[in-house]
Amino acid sequence: MQVALKIWRYDAVKGERALREYEIDAPEEATLLDCLDIVKDQRDGSLAYRKSCRMMICGSCGMRMDGGAVLACKVRMYEIAQAGHIPVISAMGNLPIVKDLVVDMGPFWGKIRAVQPWLEPGYADPGEKENVVPQERADAIHKESLCIMCGCCVSECNSMESNPDFLGPAALAKGFRFVGDVRDQATVERLQSYSEEHGIWDCTRCYFCNERCPKGVDPRDAIAKLGAEAMSHGIDSDMGAKHAKWFVTSAKTTGWLRETELVPKTQGIAKSLKEVKFAMGLVKHGKVPPPFPPHVAKHVSEARALYDLVKEQEVDGADGIVQTEKALGHLEHAADGGEAAQRGPYGEGSFAKPFLPGEEPTA
Amino acid sequence: MRAAIEAFDTGADVGIVSKLHPTRSHSGAAEGGINAALGNAAEDSPETHAFDTVKGSDYLGDQDAIEILAAEAPGDIYQLEHWGCVFSRNDEGKLAQRPFGAAGSPRTVYSADITGHVLIHVLYEQLMRRQEQGPLEVYEEYFGWRLVIEDGRCVGVVCWDLVKGGLKLVTGKSIVLATGGMGRIYRATTNAYACNGDGMAMALHAGLPLKDMEFMQFHPTTLYPSGVLITEGCRGEGGFLINRDGERFMARYAPNALELASRDVVSRSETTEIEGGRGVNGSVLLDLRHLGAERINTKLPGSRELAMTFAGVDPIYDPIPVRPGAHYHMGGVATDNWGATELPGLYAAGEVACVSVHGANRLGGNSLMETITFGRRAGQAAAEQALVSPNGRTASGAASLADAERDLKKLLDRSEGERPWKIRDELGATMLENFGVFRYPDRMESQLDTIQALRERYEHVVVEDKGDVFNTDLTQALELGSMLDLAWVMVQAGLARQESRGAHSRPSDFPDRDDERFLHHSITRWEDDAPVLSTEDVRMTKYQPEVRSY
């Protein structure tokens, strides 16, 4: 098939950037990475990009396609080429470019290191055999363990774009990989450290990291789990934590978000006073409902019942989110599969049922 | 990384040179698991593990090394678990173990089907932890090219700095090669682009012996068409192999073990089916449908993801097209049981090395275990030796660097000639055709001629990128040079081995194993720009060769 690509080239020595277009002939099963290989072999040997496993596990080939991060080895080009689309390929965002599609991963790894990414088992002598951990407990960090450190989430992180010091989705997901591990004995220290400035609460919840993660790690959900764990451990002095807590309180008490009180509850009375002028402006334009009496939703009992239900289940902290993920996973799976799921594994049009030599083949 | 961690813990000042970031290495792509006789799923013992491995090796494995592996594996696995490795658990919360090919007991410890991934990340975690405590430098994206030898000792490595450019000399009192395999010598391979036999070529060109180079393992289930690995764990969990008609053909080749016969046997059976016209698009089918969605999603999610992404097949509903592909090199740099080569100061561990625990055919799950157990041993031995070596300086380093500069300049200055990719593609295609699952004398002879012709063309190869920064055009050209020499070594050793043993199968002229003439290792040295063959005895303990059937 004919494939065309536009690639942002970058020459670090000269500091020059240029968008170049390449047309190549590639096999129909070709991925974006295969196409880059053909460009490098046959068009321009100086094109630089990282690659290794070409099976979505080494995490080398993160880059941007049409402005969003992808793993080049995961993107099949057939439909893109058939549609006549010419994708624009560029280096990942939020990291300095070394050459063409190669970025300096140094800042990325620096943040990974900052979360103390190793097990703190709290024992000097681990004993002769393995720690006994029920699979259900081990599953709590299943998604975070899938991370291949490709940097796609960091590339797309809006918060990091405005605050380069933000720990970011990959590092925080790695952090939860230990917080959620029953063998780790440094949970409180970790949660305190991750709750500091540039940590958990700096995430703006834009969900771009979830959207762009090629492995289903869902870093934003990991950050939510850290937040939930921090609060259940009483580590809630950050404004972000207070902000979240007020959402719960107001939903429980009135069924609505009591916005007027949100600012003082989040920032504290003293700090809120600085916002008085801004608040008065809002009042003037009719943007603020009167705080008293609080507006109570008609069906507030439902909100309270939901709150009680969640409490009764005693799945505090991250467990609640893990549980939800599992439930959603089942739903997703049920809806997945398309045509194949319609006919089932052995329905009409399926491949023959296996049989042993000597047995009669079944249709 | 395992060697570096052990060397550090032994008290040495350690540096790692890697052409990739350490977590990008191909061990991370291992899927199915790692073998240790823990006995968590059924009764098992290191003796049974050793016997299975000896038999699997078609009696070419060195039995003392195999006994060490089997005996030390459980302790190494427990250590990995204590370090935080995220293994799958059984109903009691202990480490789960699954059946694997040619294993007498369910012995393979795993983490769903991403075992290599969780291992490589736990090792990197431990490495980062140690970096807080003392000197453990990682020279990332340094391409190791040549060994520096002085007064009969290995004292350093000449590297190309990929990020900044330029040749760099990294010296050490002892050096451990852990550079992996060379699957890229074949067109159809599970191996990463990085697996070009760099370390084997470095050792070979430094005069060291390579051992059993004719033995390339073809994995029975590599995805059509991309060639990526679909784990043996699929069959361990109960998957079937079927032909065009749906017949579980393995019953005709290995009536007892069926799909879980050893890899050489399964790959030959598949090839026979495909060549006999009972395949589908040059493949057979791996059928997981009967396992059901729940089991596939919890035990084999990665395989499902790979099949869906690269073949458009959802294994819950349709069988996966698979075929044999080059996967693992049993041979490598000859070492003793502590990873030491014959050159003082030089050690090797993992796929680059040949201890030999795999002999003529490796069992699934044994390679990850080898990297851990023998990586640890090599790291310890290298550190102990370094700690008693008086001098870490080298006098000849500058001269080695100058030699390398000169050769590199010659390559970079060339502007007329051929681009490397055609040579690389032709090498890969012809090796698969002529030195694949089955080997025939005429085809092997013609492959030798092909390799010579490709080597001559390589003399005129052109690197287009003349820059310093991230010049992979240059490193890929250097890798190709290594592969061409190693291909020659392999085919020469294959021609000389006039028998069929393990992964080396000659159905037309020598269909049987011949212990009388060939129960020995092949040893290849590089002399006057050509490989020279000799032999070496297999180290035997208590396992006498028997007829091998599954």
Distance separating alpha carbons of residues B158 and B206, to the nearest angstrom: 12
Q: Is A48 on the interface with B (CB under 8 A)?
A: yes
Choose the mutation target among A130, A330, A343 for the interface with B, i.e. most B CBs under 10 Å: A130
Half-sphere exposure of B99 (CA within 13 A, CB side): 16
| Contact: B129, A133; criterion CB under 8 Å | no
Of B63-77, B392-406, B492-506, give the lowest mean pLDDT range.
B392-406
| Contact: B26, A53; criterion CB under 8 Å | yes
| CB nearest to B117's CB, from A48, A54, A57 | A57
A335 vs B contacts (CB less than 8 Å): none
Q: Is A279 on the interface with B (CB under 8 A)?
A: no
Q: Is A363 on the interface with B (CB under 8 A)?
A: no
| CB nearest to A128's CB, from B78, B194, B240 | B78
A27 C-beta neighbours (distance < 10 Å), count: 13
What are the 10-residue block averages of pLDDT along chain A, 363 residues in total? 98 94 97 98 97 97 98 97 97 98 98 98 84 94 96 98 97 98 96 96 95 95 96 91 89 87 86 85 83 83 90 83 73 61 88 90 64
Domain residue extents for chain A: 2-103, 105-123+133-258+294-333
Q: Is A252 on the interface with B (CB under 8 A)?
A: no
Edge-first strand order for the sheet with B142-150 is B142-150, B153-161, B167-171
| Cis, bond preceding B356 (omega within 30 deg of 0) | yes
Work out the minimum CA distance from A213 to partner chain B, whole angstroms: 14
- pLDDT for the residue numbered A268: 86
- To which CATH superfamily is domain A105-123+133-258+294-333 assigned? Alpha-helical ferredoxin (1.10.1060.10)
How far apart, in Å, are the Cα atoms of A340 and each of A335, A352, B77, B319? 11, 14, 40, 12
Q: Is A345 on the interface with B (CB under 8 A)?
A: yes
**Residue B438 backbone phi and psi in degrees, to 5:** -110, 145
B38, closest residue in chain A (CA to CA): A129
List of residues 6+ apart from A243 with CB closer than 8 A:
A201, A262, A265, A266
Q: For domain B2-216+327-387, which architecture applies?
A: 3-Layer(bba) Sandwich (3.50)
Hey, which residues 160-189 in chain A have their CB within 8 Å of chain B? Answer: 178, 181, 183-184
| Contact: B289, A59; criterion CB under 8 Å | no
- pLDDT for the residue numbered A123: 76
A129, closest residue in chain B (CA to CA): B78
B314 vs A contacts (CB less than 8 Å): 337, 340
Domain residue extents for chain B: 2-216+327-387, 221-324, 397-536
pLDDT cut 90: percent of chain B above it: 98
A124 C-beta neighbours (distance < 10 Å), count: 5
Name the pLDDT band for B392 (thresholds 50, 70, 90): low
A40 vs B contacts (CB less than 8 Å): 472-473
Distance separating alpha carbons of residues B433 and B187, to the nearest angstrom: 9
A355 vs B contacts (CB less than 8 Å): 246-248
B229 vs A contacts (CB less than 8 Å): 55
* B207, two tokens: 């005069």
| Contact: A133, B28; criterion CB under 8 Å | no
| Contact: A130, B81; criterion CB under 8 Å | yes
DSSP string, B410-437: HHHH--SSB-HHHHHHHHHHHHHHHSSS
B175-177 and B346-348 beta bridge pairing: parallel
**Residue B31 backbone phi and psi in degrees, to 5:** -115, -55
Which residue shows structure tokens 């799945």?
Answer: A315
Distance separating alpha carbons of residues B41 and A139, to the nearest angstrom: 20
CATH class of B397-536: mainly alpha
Half-sphere exposure of A145 (CA within 13 A, CB side): 27
Q: What is the pLDDT of residues B23-37, one digit of tens each?
A: 999 999 999 999 999
Q: Is A114 on the interface with B (CB under 8 A)?
A: no
| Contact: B471, A48; criterion CB under 8 Å | yes
A102-103 and A62-65 beta bridge pairing: unpaired
Work out the minimum CA distance from A55 to partner chain B, whole angstroms: 6
A13 vs B contacts (CB less than 8 Å): 467-469
A150, closest residue in chain B (CA to CA): B24
Catalytic residue positions of B? 263
A58, closest residue in chain B (CA to CA): B24
| Contact: B293, A333; criterion CB under 8 Å | yes
A183 vs B contacts (CB less than 8 Å): 84
| Contact: A53, B21; criterion CB under 8 Å | no
Fold of B221-324: Flavocytochrome C3; Chain A, domain 1 (3.90.700)
| CB nearest to A357's CB, from B28, B129, B247 | B247
* B306, two tokens: 């790979």
Distance separating alpha carbons of residues B336 and B353, to the nearest angstrom: 10
* A106, two tokens: 């140094």
| Contact: A337, B25; criterion CB under 8 Å | no
Q: What is the pLDDT of residues B147-204, one digit of tens each?
A: 999 999 999 999 999 999 999 999 999 999 999 999 999 999 999 999 999 999 999 9
Size of interface A-B (CB pairs under 8 A): 206
- pLDDT for the residue numbered A322: 80
B129, closest residue in chain A (CA to CA): A118
* For range B204-218, the mean pLDDT: 98
| Contact: B247, A356; criterion CB under 8 Å | yes
Choose the mutation target among A14, A31, A57 for the interface with B, i.e. most B CBs under 10 Å: A57
List of residues 6+ apart from A189 with CB closer than 8 A:
A120
| CB nearest to A352's CB, from B90, B246, B306 | B246
Choose the mutation target among B92, B117, B252, B313 for the interface with A, i.e. most A CBs under 10 Å: B117
Work out the minimum CA distance from B514 to partner chain A, whole angstroms: 31
Q: What is the pLDDT of residues B316-342, one digit of tens each?
A: 999 999 999 999 999 999 999 999 999
pLDDT higher at B389 or B267: B267
- pLDDT for the residue numbered B189: 97
How far apart, in Å, are the Cα atoms of B174 and each of A24, B7, B170? 47, 10, 11
Q: Is A132 on the interface with B (CB under 8 A)?
A: yes
B89 vs A contacts (CB less than 8 Å): 133-135, 138
pTM of the model: 0.95
| CB nearest to B126's CB, from A105, A118, A178 | A118
| Contact: A337, B314; criterion CB under 8 Å | yes
Half-sphere exposure of B112 (CA within 13 A, CB side): 24
Q: What is the pLDDT of residues B263-302, one digit of tens each?
A: 999 999 999 999 999 999 999 999 999 999 999 999 999 9
- pLDDT for the residue numbered B103: 94
A101, closest residue in chain B (CA to CA): B470
| Contact: A351, B470; criterion CB under 8 Å | no
Q: Is A43 on the interface with B (CB under 8 A)?
A: no
Query: Above 0.90 for ipTM, yes or no?
Result: yes
* Residues forming beta bridges with residue A71, ordered by sequence position: A62
| Contact: A352, B245; criterion CB under 8 Å | yes
- CATH code of the region A2-103: 3.10.20.30
- pLDDT for the residue numbered A52: 98
| Contact: A361, B246; criterion CB under 8 Å | yes
